[in-house]
Chain A
Amino acid sequence: MLGYTITQWLFGILSFLAIMFALMVVFTRNPVNSVLYLVLTFFCIAGHYLLLNAQFLAIVHIVVYAGAIMVLFLFIIMLMNLDADTEPQKHIGTRFIAGIVGGVLLFVMVGALRGAEQIQLVQTGSSQIGLVKNLGKVLFSEFLFPFEIASILLLAALVGAIMIGKRDTNINSKETTNS
């Protein structure tokens, strides 16, 4: 088909969609819609993972992001009762400048991210690395330490979230830091 393989077609479509949805996340006024667009973006990215033979990662991605994180976001948004009407908007000029700066950043990035042509290709196509078995092996041997230490991270997040979320019984303010 026009000299492109299916993968290439898929890549094109997924990329286009991912970028489109990403833009929608930024430019939709209603936060709820933003979340939904973000979920869609995640799905596109998961698609890319599949294209790249990272099947397990694709699944985890869907489960963690779309399933857990995004639900959390939605939940908070619902809780705060945010919608298009209450959504505060930046001044149009600010947004315009943000866009310009983003464009310039893109331009600079394009300049900066040259040089990938030189990379030696190791192998193509049917990679096995994305399989659970391979990943698990690496994770529990080479990456054992980070894996273990990540638990500290999660514990810290857990404690932190609980501490912040818990209602105070007394005001623990002996000092004021207002000024």
Chain B
Amino acid sequence: MLNGIPINFYIMLSAVIFIIGVIGVMARRNAIIIFMCIELMLNAVNLLLVAFSTLHNDPSGQVFVFFIMAVAAAEVAVGLAILSMVYRNFKSIDIDLLSRLKN
């Protein structure tokens, strides 16, 4: 029990958010939304890490979250740069249009 809330609840909550992110990645065609859904997945992980950190009373979990945030920021920066480049060339960010490389 953390603050009276079973750890299972946190696990389930982050699993659900994580899966919503996964569904989003699968269900959308807009690259930006897909990106956002990946952020959603990362946040689910962050939540889980913090919950475990509190559970174990161990700060390293929270420190790890910092790194995830840093990575997420870096990824977003690079990702959005690539996205805007793709948009410049394709005039769209529809992932289904990006299928020249195949077979």
Verify B74–A8 contact, CB threshold 8 A. Answer: no
Which A1-38 residues sit within 8 Å CB-CB of chain B? 5, 7-8, 11, 15, 18-19, 22-23, 25-26, 31, 34-35, 38
Query: Considering only CB atoms, which chain A residue lies closest to B23 in the complex?
Result: A102
Verify B4–A98 contact, CB threshold 8 A. Answer: no
Closest chain A CB from B21 CB (angstroms) = 7
Verify A69–B73 contact, CB threshold 8 A. Answer: yes
Verify B36–A65 contact, CB threshold 8 A. Answer: no
Which A121-173 residues sit within 8 Å CB-CB of chain B? 121-125, 127, 129-130, 134-135, 138-139, 142-143, 146, 150, 153-154, 156-158, 160-161, 164-165
Q: Which of A8, A56, A57 contacts B5 (CB 8 A)?
A: A8
Q: Which of A54, A106, A157 contacts B15 (CB 8 A)?
A: A106
Verify A82–B37 contact, CB threshold 8 A. Answer: no
User: Which residues in A have their C-beta under 8 angstroms from that of B37?
Assistant: 25-26
Closest chain A CB from B39 CB (angstroms) = 7
Query: Considering only CB atoms, which chain B residue lies closest to A87 in the complex?
Result: B30
User: Which residues in A have their C-beta under 8 angstroms from that of B70?
Assistant: 150, 153-154
- Interface residues of A: mostly helix, strand, loop or mixed? helix
Closest chain B CB from A151 CB (angstroms) = 9
User: Which residues in A have their C-beta under 8 angstroms from that of B56?
Assistant: 122
Q: Which of A99, A106, A119, A142 contacts B60 (CB 8 A)?
A: A142
Q: How many residues of B contact A (CB 8 A)?
A: 72
Q: Which of A19, A61, A165 contacts B17 (CB 8 A)?
A: A19
- Bound CA–CA A55/B32 (angstroms): 30
Verify A143–B63 contact, CB threshold 8 A. Answer: yes
Closest chain A CB from B46 CB (angstroms) = 7
Verify B4–A160 contact, CB threshold 8 A. Answer: no
Q: Which of B5, B11, B35, B54 contacts A54 (CB 8 A)?
A: B54
Query: Does A174 have its Cβ within 8 Å of any Cβ on chain B?
Result: no
User: Which residues in A have their C-beta under 8 angstroms from that of B53?
Assistant: 52, 54, 129
- Bound CA–CA A8/B39 (angstroms): 26
- Bound CA–CA A139/B6 (angstroms): 28
Verify B33–A34 contact, CB threshold 8 A. Answer: yes
- Bound CA–CA A42/B46 (angstroms): 11
User: Which residues in B have their C-beta under 8 angstroms from that of A94?
Assistant: 27
Query: Considering only CB atoms, which chain B residue lies closest to A156 in the complex?
Result: B74
A-B pairs, 5 with minimum CB distance: A157-B74, A102-B23, A26-B24, A98-B26, A98-B27
